[in-house]
Every structure is written in C-alpha cells, then in structure tokens.
Amino acid sequence: MTTINDGGYFTGDSTQNGVIFPSGGSNDSTGQAWGMWADANAGSSDIIAYRRFNRPLGVGQTFEIYVDTGLNTGVEGFVLRTGNDTTGKNNGGRFEFLNNAQQNYAIFGSVFSNTAVPWTDGGVRVDFTLTSADTYSVTLTGLVSGVSQTLTGALQGTSGTTIDSVALYDENRNSGRANFDLYFNKMSITELQVTSFELFQGTNVAIGFTTTPGLVYTLQQCSDLVASNWSTVVSNVVGTGRIMQLTNSVSGAIRNQYYRVGIAGP
C-alpha cells in the first residue's frame, strides 16, 4: 500500500457512500467493505493498494470485483498489471477500469472507452475475462440499477505478457468527506468449468459448462488423446453468464470419445 499526500485505508459500510443513504453498495454479509479515502488539500492525492495474484490470470479465467466509487471529484478505479511493481499503479498496466468525476464508467485497454453504464452511488460489478493472451471481454453491471454492458477489445502494454496483479487506487480531489470514499469487495478469480457430463440413450452426450456473457464457446471431440486430433462439433455458442449445455451424438462403433469446451473469442 502507498499514499501520496493525505489518505488511507479502512473497512466500513459502503451503503453510506454517495448521495442516497443507504445507497446499496458493495458490502459483504457482515455489512462491511474494504475502503480507501483521499484528501487533496495537501496536493494531488494518490492512494494505492497492490495485490499480487497467486498465479497469472489464465485464458478463460474471469477476474471479478465489486466497486463503489461514491461521490467523486477525481479519478478512482483499478489497473490489472504485469508483475507487481509497487512504485506506480500503471507500471506493467494491461487494463484499467475507472470512474472520472461521476461520469459513466470507463475502461482502458489498447484504447480508452466510455461505457454506457452510468455512475451510481450503488456501485458496479466488473467481470473481466481474458479471452487470449492479448484480448479481453469485460461486463459492467450496476449493483442496484441492473444496467449492464459487455465490451471486448485488445489489452494495452507489452504483447503476450501475463496479468499477475491488481492495483486499486483513489485519486479523489475532495477534502476526505465520508460519502466521497471508495469501496472494493468480493474480489475473485473464476474459470471455465465443466459442470456436468451425461450419456443418455446410449448414443448422445450432454455437457454442461459455465459461461461468461458475450464470449463465444466451442465443443470439440477426439477419439485418441495421444494423436490429439481434435475436431469441432459445435461452434459459435454465445455465453449468457449462466450454465449452458451442449449435446453431441456418439457412434456406437467408437470405443472412446473425449470432449473439451473452449473459448473461441469475444
């Protein structure tokens, strides 16, 4: 954790952030969230918390976080990064989520984009999925408003480098009043998972798996893992964010049949 000028860290009730109380917010089951405050009276404030991942984010994995920016006269957000350099939040940056002075939430991959999801003091859920070494899909969903948008694009930074850490930051220019705080919660990493595999009527299989909205999935099969001659049997399946199921017929003459679900891209 680093601070430039006045600011700090705490745990508290994010429903007291913003304009309307209670505002919704990003609290956990105990009514608490992890918070940051910034006071620019002594000059430009830059309050940063760094977190290294246990291992690099893999293709198909999703980084999820709840963010409540409250009232905001500066810039607040997070940066997904290569490495964990703690001398600057943008060092190794590959993707950034931010809110600037209560405008619509914005993202910054290889290009900067304002989203269609408006700022609210109820907060927003961010689901970032790595779709290849250099591309992403991100879904923003208002925690109270329910307004949602999925965007795709290319990452910034050095091509092919991994995402190993996150930097959470508060550059609010206010005088440190409580309803101008920044809260984060429910940070997690999930991945594509096969949830079920069922053989029915002896000649058909049904495979269930988790999905991310907007991602495109394929189902592939092969009969010999050594030869690894995978062929696509179902393609262009667009994820809904819910568990989906695909089916395929199996010839009775085939002794072994193997399946895998993959991500084709956004």
pLDDT single digits (tens) 85-115: 999 999 999 999 999 988 999 999 999 999 9
Residue 37 pLDDT: 86
Same domain as 72, residue 50: yes
Same domain as 185, residue 206: no
Tell me which residue of 75, 74, 100, 86 sits closest to 166, measured CA to CA: 86
In sequence order, what are the residues at sequence separation of 6 or more whose Cβ sits closer than 8 angstroms to the Cβ of residue 99? 67, 69, 72, 75, 76, 77, 105, 106, 119
Same domain as 258, residue 175: no
Residue 27 pLDDT: 76
Same domain as 216, residue 116: no
Q: How many domains does the chain have?
A: 2
Same domain as 115, residue 135: yes
Residue ending a domain, choose from 142, 173, 190? 190
List the end-to-end C-alpha distance of the chain, in Å, as a whole number.
Answer: 34
Residue 164: give its domain's CATH number. Answer: 2.60.120.200
Average the pLDDT over 239-252 and give the result. Answer: 86
Whole-model pTM? 0.80
Own/partner pairs, 192-196, CB within 8 angstroms, 24+ separation: 192/60, 192/61, 192/261, 192/263, 194/261, 195/243, 196/245
pLDDT single digits (tens) 205-244: 999 999 887 788 999 999 888 888 899 999 999 988 889 9
Would you place residue 255 in the very low, low, confident or very high pLDDT band (cuts 50, 70, 90)?
Answer: confident
Residue ending a domain, choose from 190, 208, 243? 190
Same domain as 147, residue 160: yes
- Is the model's pLDDT at 163 over the cut of 70? yes
Q: Give residue 120's domain range.
A: 2-190
